[in-house]
Amino acid sequence: MSDWDEVYRSKPALWSGRPGPLLVRELTGLAPGRALELGCGEGADALWLAGEGWRVDGLDISTVALERADARARELGLQSRVHWQRQDLSSWRAENVYDLVSVQFLHSIGLDREPILIEATHAVAPGGTLLIVSHRAVPHWSGLAEAPEQPSAAELADRIGVSGPDWRIDLVDEVERTATHADGRTEIVSDSVLRAIRR
């Protein structure tokens, strides 16, 4: 059992249940194919993708979160389009390639993100899209308030190797938005968005 199982058990729903607005902004209208989401949590983003026609593999370390995601998929009639897998991303290795690899707010104290994000680049098929959305400063109510400021999208592109000739960067963006937590709390947060296409 992971520590994240205890975090998820502490509340009936840890997240809002709505897909991330930046994910929706960037992927609406993209021709569906096979998608991978790393750190899928309770499944809102993966289920939005499935509803848009994608076949989705959702990976997360929390069994509790994945059980909630699966239950929601069944409620929506999307269970045939999503496959949930418990996975400790710190030891994950890309074994398949996807038309889309999505990493949304992968922040956890003690988790070294960059090796995971580098591994994620290996899972993108030629012509496929890598979308990474991150907090620049992690919101205080997340429980990760001691996390350092995160790199900008441009800095992250350099660090994980997608600024080289094998990739085309479509977007590096910094966005301020109002975030609403599951319990209704709101806060202005600053996010970075990196979208790159493997050549």
Q: Report how far residue 38's alpha carbon sits from residue 178's, in angstroms, rounded to the nearest whole number.
A: 23
Would you say residue 178 lies in a domain?
no
pLDDT over threshold 70, residue 25: yes
**88: pLDDT confidence band, cut at 50, 70 and 90?**
very high
| Rg of the chain in Å (alpha carbons) | 16
* Cβ(94)–Cβ(119) below 8 Å: yes
Output the six-digit token pair for 71.
Answer: 């239950």
Would you say residue 74 lies in a domain?
yes
* Cβ(165)–Cβ(199) below 8 Å: yes
The domain spanning residue 47 has which CATH number?
3.40.50.150
Report how many helices (DSSP H) and strands (DSSP E) the chain contains, helices first: 6, 7
Q: Report how far residue 48's alpha carbon sits from residue 73's, in angstroms, rounded to the nearest whole number.
A: 10
Q: Report how far residue 88's alpha carbon sits from residue 105's, in angstroms, rounded to the nearest whole number.
A: 16
* Cβ(15)–Cβ(44) below 8 Å: yes
Counting the structural domains of the chain, the total is 1
Mean pLDDT, rounded, for 164-170: 96
Least confident of 27-31, 120-124, 184-188: 184-188
Output the six-digit token pair for 118.
Answer: 């580098």
Would you say residue 174 lies in a domain?
no
pTM of the model: 0.90
Reported as a single tens digit per residue, the pLDDT across 89-118 is: 999 999 999 999 999 999 776 688 999 999
Please provide the DSSP assignment of 170-188 as one string: EEEEEEEEEEE-TTS-EEE
Would you say residue 191 lies in a domain?
no
Would you say residue 14 lies in a domain?
yes
Would you say residue 198 lies in a domain?
no
Would you say residue 107 lies in a domain?
yes
Per-residue confidence (pLDDT) for residue 83, from 0 to 100: 98
Q: Which domain holds residue 164?
A: 3-148+156-169
Per-residue confidence (pLDDT) for residue 27, from 0 to 100: 98
Q: Report how far residue 124's alpha carbon sits from residue 30's, in angstroms, rounded to the nearest whole number.
A: 15
The number of angstroms, rounded, from the C-alpha of 103 to the middle of its chain's C-alpha atoms is 3
Element (H, E) at 104: strand 98-104
Would you say residue 36 lies in a domain?
yes
Mean pLDDT, rounded, for 44-58: 98
Q: Report how far residue 183's alpha carbon sits from residue 157's, in angstroms, rounded to the nearest whole number.
A: 33
